[in-house]
Amino acid sequence: MPELDNPVLHAIRERRSVRRYTEEPVSADEVRAMLEAARWAPSGKNNQPWRFLAIMGGDARQQALAELTRSGSAVQAAKALIVVALDKSAMYHQIKDHQSCGAAMQNILLAAHSLGLGAVWLGEIVSRERQVFEALSLDPDAYELAAVAAIGRPSRQGSGQRKPLADLLIEPL
């Protein structure tokens, strides 16, 4: 495939999940930049059903979240966490709204990468939604848990491979 000189396509290809971080903090301005990117994600009917909770490193809730996921070491080492939740009152379609939150999370990850940060999408934590909401004092009648991102300055680069495009096509181009 020819390489395109396009910063967005380049960022998509170069971004990796990063689970190990240095001790250097993530600034509130960097977190705001990631949240700004997230709010520009697409959503069905432009309902923007996502709601965000930013937790800075050292917050007592960080340890509580670390105990609720297999990626606890990444959560403990993170200098910021972003929780993405669905506002039930803003929803119009379960699948579409979850997809919108996924798009917001992708924007968070791409923004983190563009800022020189490392981040990982913690998806499996949603299976512990009740405990997560208890730890965060969030109302389960008002929200659904979509995902959590652990963010920091990478202590090493992430890695990962992708299947060839031909293996993923239902029919050839």
pLDDT tens per residue, range 1-18: 556 789 999 999 999 999
With contact defined as beta carbons under 8 Å apart, do 139 and 133 qualify? yes
pLDDT, tens digit (0-9, with 9 covering 90-100), for 51-100? 999 999 999 999 999 999 999 999 999 999 999 999 999 999 999 999 99
pLDDT, tens digit (0-9, with 9 covering 90-100), for 19-62? 999 999 999 999 999 999 999 999 999 999 999 999 999 999 99
pLDDT, tens digit (0-9, with 9 covering 90-100), for 144-167? 999 999 999 999 877 788 899 999
Average pLDDT, the chain: 95
Residue (of 86, 81, 97, 78) closest to 135 by Cα position: 81
Give the model's pLDDT for residue 83: 98
Give the Å distances, CA to CA, from 117 to 16, 31, 99, 170. 11, 10, 24, 35
Task: Tell me what percent of the residues of the chain surpass a pLDDT of 70.
Answer: 98
Taking the domain 16-156, which CATH number applies? Answer: 3.40.109.10
Give the model's pLDDT for residue 54: 98
Name the token pair of 43. 């959503």
Give the model's pLDDT for residue 3: 61
* Domains of the chain, residue spans: 16-156
Q: State the CB neighbour count (10 A cutoff) for residue 40.
A: 11
For 18-57, the DSSP string reads: ---B-SPPPPHHHHHHHHHHHHTS--GGG---EEEEEEET
pLDDT, tens digit (0-9, with 9 covering 90-100), for 124-140? 999 999 999 999 999 99
